[in-house]
Amino acid sequence: MRPILLLVAASLFAQEVTFKVESKLVIVNVSVKGKDGKPLTTLKKEDIEIYEDGVKQDLAVFELEQLSNQVLAPVAATPSAPVTLEERVERVPAGQAVTTAAATPTVRHQDKRLVALFFDFSNMPQADQLRAKDAAVDFISKQMTASDLVSIMAYGNRFDVLEDFTADRDRLLSRLQKMATGEGAGLADVAATSADEGDDSGTFVADDTEFNVFNTDRKLSALEDATKKLAAYPEKKALIYFASGLTLTGLENQSQLRATVNSAVRANVAFYPVDARGLTAESPVGDASTASGRGTGSLTGSTQSQRQSSRTGSQDTLYTLASDTGGKAVVDSNDLALGIREAQEDITSYYILGYYSKNSAEDGKFRKLQVKLVGKELQSSAKLDFRNGYYASKVFAKFTSSDKERQLEEALTLGDPVSELPLALEVDYFRVARDRYLVPISVKIPGSVLVLAKKGGKQSTDFDFIGQVRDGANGRLVGGVRDNIPVKLNDTDASQLEHRHLQYDAGLTLPPGKYNLKFLARENQTGKMGTFETNFVVPDLTASKELRLSSVILSSQKEDVKAAVGSADNDKRALANHPLIQNGQKTVPSITRVFRKDQTLYVYFEVYDPAADATSKTPSLSAQVELLQGARKSFSSMPARQEKMTPNRPGVTSFSFQMPLAKMAAGQYTAQVNVIDEAGKRFAFPRSAIVVLP
């Protein structure tokens, strides 16, 4: 909710004062059904009351939407002639305030069911694209009703609205036929393209491929962007999301997932995800689209189990999007049009209620909604269906210093994540004592989202960083970081900021255990904030019988410690013993694991408590780094041996590698570290996925 803005204009020569009020309207769609399950369409404004956080609100909008389920006569799937008539729909841009100039805002699509078809081509194989498109064609040509208006959206490397809401089936079919298949080869292979001049449909994209290559934030951001565009319509909206599953990268994407869901709830949008892969049956050894497996996995069933678990995991997110927004997910079905029909059946006649909230605070907190019928007869004979609340908006303008501090503290506890400032985060661990581990936290922010202010000969801004670490078992706060970091750039560096990034590093010392980290960054020039939440584990290596390793750090740069953006620990002794600092140079972790051919790949890790050789009484360790493409070895470093312990750190020895990437072909690789403790007869082979760009 936006607070009421009061502007006073007074003439020096007259006593008349003019007041202008701006506010955003809260829209709530309410379905009312009788005991027979049929919609009740005879209610009046006096029959309904709406409450926000227990406070009764004054209804400014009361509209009945009566929808028909009469299916239109079938039409040819291919239009007989090009469609030249363009339907223009008046829309209010997302984020623009609705004024109180009119007593009641106009309902733009009276008695219409709004269905948006969203095609996620970013990771959809061509066969799935064809199935999804055929399902849409089948629905439009044979199953549309007189009340349906359909919009077509697509996401490959950016989000586009291909067709706005229209009932013109020939126009819709023509647009579907023009959709090229085979596009959207994947986020890891194709960099994001900028939007055409004058088109803001792609401006939400967080950054290029490097920033998002290993997570699904961009897909969820595209869905969020779609809900914001649909928020201009007060009616119920159904978004049919055609995708080949949607897999979260661990817990990295939870903040963006919740932000997308909350945006959909605010916009009265229900997600109806459809798994375009349909019902599949695979042999235990897989099909011809994947390389043959090795070992006994195909015989024991472990290979098939892993594939099934991966498929189920990619469907879990679809179920989450549906259940949290009031929609339904369609998976393991070859009738992909079923998802659209589910939306048709769910959206029956309903009422549009609107009010201007009496709570003008823009605190980002959850506002609970309650709708009641007036009269015992209606209360006993009717059933209501409506959203249970929404999250208020958050603004930064004219905050005092105490307001800003409170905003940071509250943002960490709010259930509504903030995704205005995209973040990538990595948590690592290094043992510094038998029961204590240094946990470095690295945060990456794309330079393309930063806004700089000109001050003197520099362009500058500043950031607030705050993070809280809680015990995963009982939620107890066990540590945190808090920093304010100024950023000052000369004109040359500022001009290159679009293609660079800002990286912040902090560190905590924790005992072994399971933890939850919630991290917040705020850019103080515009007030943009971003949150990142993840669970992580600090293993108890002392109790492990395996070869004891730290996190494996992959990096493309080393920098002087004095040039670091920020550090949560400025103690000189602590910095001297920091695992990632050698000779005054700090190894900067590559969070996104994306490298260019003109860079050098640095690899660093530590081995703890290696066994001592019976003769020399010293450790005997060897290590090697390999880059693999599938089953083929593309590069292998020279083997390194270590027979000495690290000074001032008992029981610790370390390995450092550096490998120029100039001769590597661009593409995706698996970086594998082979570590052998010859005296202890133990070994480890940790792996990480990386990408090499031209």
- How many structural domains are present in the chain? 3
Confidence at residue 287, expressed as pLDDT on a 0 to 100 scale: 62
Higher pLDDT, 320 or 616: 320
Confidence at residue 96, expressed as pLDDT on a 0 to 100 scale: 37
Are 337 and 234 in a shared domain?
Answer: yes
H or E segment at 440?
A: strand 436-446
Binning pLDDT at 50, 70 and 90, where does residue 676 land? Answer: very high
**Residue 606: inside a domain, yes or no?**
yes
Binning pLDDT at 50, 70 and 90, where does residue 182 land? Answer: low
Confidence at residue 452, expressed as pLDDT on a 0 to 100 scale: 83
- The CATH number for 573's domain is 2.60.40.3880
Are 248 and 232 in a shared domain?
Answer: yes
Confidence at residue 98, expressed as pLDDT on a 0 to 100 scale: 36
Which residues, including other chains, have CB under 8 Å from residue 281's CB and lie 6 or more apart? none
Most confident listed range (282-286, 404-408, 690-694): 690-694
H or E segment at 316?
A: helix 302-325
DSSP, res 109 = S
Nearest-angstrom CA–CA distance, 444 and 197: 28
Confidence at residue 278, expressed as pLDDT on a 0 to 100 scale: 85
Which residues, including other chains, have CB under 8 Å from residue 292's CB and lie 6 or more apart? 285, 286
For 148-200, the three-class secondary structure string (H helix, E strand, C coil) is EEEEEEEECCCEEEEEEEECCHHHHHHHHHHCCCCCCCCCCCCCCCCCCCCCC
Higher pLDDT, 624 or 258: 624
Are 588 and 632 in a shared domain?
Answer: yes
Which of 348, 381, 401 is the last residue in one of the domains? 348
Instruction: Note the Cα 200 to chain centre separation in Å.
Output: 19
The mean per-residue pLDDT over the stretch 279-302 comes to: 65
Most confident listed range (82-91, 107-116, 412-421): 107-116
Higher pLDDT, 572 or 309: 309
Confidence at residue 565, expressed as pLDDT on a 0 to 100 scale: 43
Higher pLDDT, 437 or 212: 437
Report helix, strand or coil for 265: helix
Are 146 and 241 in a shared domain?
Answer: yes
Asked if residue 628 has pLDDT above 90, the reply is: yes
**In 3D, which of 444, 386, 387 has the Cα closest to residue 593?**
444
Are 563 and 512 in a shared domain?
Answer: no
Are 531 and 606 in a shared domain?
Answer: no
Report helix, strand or coil for 619: strand
Identify whether the C-beta of residue 372 lies closer than 8 Å to the C-beta of residue 48: yes
Asked if residue 19 has pLDDT above 60, the reply is: no
Confidence at residue 584, expressed as pLDDT on a 0 to 100 scale: 79
**Residue 448: inside a domain, yes or no?**
yes
Nearest-angstrom CA–CA distance, 645 and 387: 61
- The CATH number for 200's domain is 3.40.50.410
Nearest-angstrom CA–CA distance, 178 and 169: 14
Whole-angstrom CA distances from 565 to 172, 559, 583, 632 are 51, 10, 18, 39
Nearest-angstrom CA–CA distance, 184 and 190: 8
Most confident listed range (334-338, 386-390, 514-518, 648-652): 514-518
**In 3D, which of 187, 179, 244, 185 has the Cα closest to residue 217?**
187
pLDDT in tens, 654-663: 999 999 999 9
Identify whether the C-beta of residue 119 lies closer than 8 Å to the C-beta of residue 154: yes
The mean per-residue pLDDT over the stretch 5-19 comes to: 37
Encoded amino acid at 674, one letter = N
Name residue 538's beta-bridge partners: 513
Which of 292, 321, 348 is the last residue in one of the domains? 348
**Residue 149: inside a domain, yes or no?**
yes
The whole-model pTM stands at 0.59
**In 3D, which of 121, 123, 150, 156 has the Cα closest to residue 137?**
150
Nearest-angstrom CA–CA distance, 108 and 122: 32
Confidence at residue 88, expressed as pLDDT on a 0 to 100 scale: 33
Are 495 and 548 in a shared domain?
Answer: no
pLDDT in tens, 226-244: 999 998 888 999 999 999 8
Confidence at residue 694, expressed as pLDDT on a 0 to 100 scale: 86
Are 424 and 511 in a shared domain?
Answer: yes
**Residue 54: inside a domain, yes or no?**
no
| Range of weakest confidence among 38-47, 166-175, 290-299, 572-581 | 290-299
Nearest-angstrom CA–CA distance, 542 and 548: 8
Q: In the predicted model, what is the mean pLDDT of the chain?
A: 80
Confidence at residue 484, expressed as pLDDT on a 0 to 100 scale: 86
pLDDT in tens, 483-531: 888 888 888 888 888 778 888 888 899 999 999 999 999 888 888 888 8
Residues spanned by the domain of 684? 544-694
Nearest-angstrom CA–CA distance, 397 and 2: 12
Nearest-angstrom CA–CA distance, 167 and 145: 9
Asked if residue 367 has pLDDT above 60, the reply is: yes
Are 459 and 565 in a shared domain?
Answer: no
Asked if residue 84 has pLDDT above 60, the reply is: no
Binning pLDDT at 50, 70 and 90, where does residue 429 land? Answer: very high
* Burial annotation 540-564 (CB, 10 A radius, 16+ → b, else e): ebeeeeebbbbbbbbbbebeeeeeb
Confidence at residue 406, expressed as pLDDT on a 0 to 100 scale: 65
The alpha carbon torsion through 476, 479, 484, 485 (nearest 10 deg) reads -130
Binning pLDDT at 50, 70 and 90, where does residue 8 land? Answer: very low
DSSP string, 365-402: -EEEEEEEESSHHHHHHEEEE---EEEPPB--TT--HH
Asked if residue 111 has pLDDT above 90, the reply is: no
| Range of weakest confidence among 91-95, 153-157, 520-524 | 91-95
Identify whether the C-beta of residue 184 lies closer than 8 Å to the C-beta of residue 121: yes
Whole-angstrom CA distances from 539 to 26, 436, 554 are 48, 10, 20
Encoded amino acid at 623, one letter = A
pLDDT in tens, 410-428: 677 777 777 788 888 999 9
Confidence at residue 7, expressed as pLDDT on a 0 to 100 scale: 30
Asked if residue 390 has pLDDT above 80, the reply is: yes
The mean per-residue pLDDT over the stretch 74-99 comes to: 45
Confidence at residue 196, expressed as pLDDT on a 0 to 100 scale: 37
Are 570 and 524 in a shared domain?
Answer: no
Identify whether the C-beta of residue 108 lies closer than 8 Å to the C-beta of residue 89: yes
**In 3D, which of 53, 57, 54 has the Cα closest to residue 356?**
57
Are 435 and 312 in a shared domain?
Answer: no
**Residue 102: inside a domain, yes or no?**
no
Confidence at residue 397, expressed as pLDDT on a 0 to 100 scale: 57
Confidence at residue 364, expressed as pLDDT on a 0 to 100 scale: 73
**Residue 58: inside a domain, yes or no?**
no
Binning pLDDT at 50, 70 and 90, where does residue 137 land? Answer: very high
Are 524 and 558 in a shared domain?
Answer: no
Confidence at residue 652, expressed as pLDDT on a 0 to 100 scale: 92
Location of structure tokens 């309650």: 370
Nearest-angstrom CA–CA distance, 516 and 468: 8
**Residue 136: inside a domain, yes or no?**
yes
Which of 305, 325, 348 is the last residue in one of the domains? 348
**Residue 57: inside a domain, yes or no?**
no
H or E segment at 538?
A: strand 529-538
pLDDT in tens, 586-614: 888 998 889 999 999 999 999 999 998 87
Confidence at residue 299, expressed as pLDDT on a 0 to 100 scale: 63
Asked if residue 134 has pLDDT above 80, the reply is: yes
Direct distance between the N- and C-terminal alpha carbons of the chain, in angstroms, rounded to an integer: 46
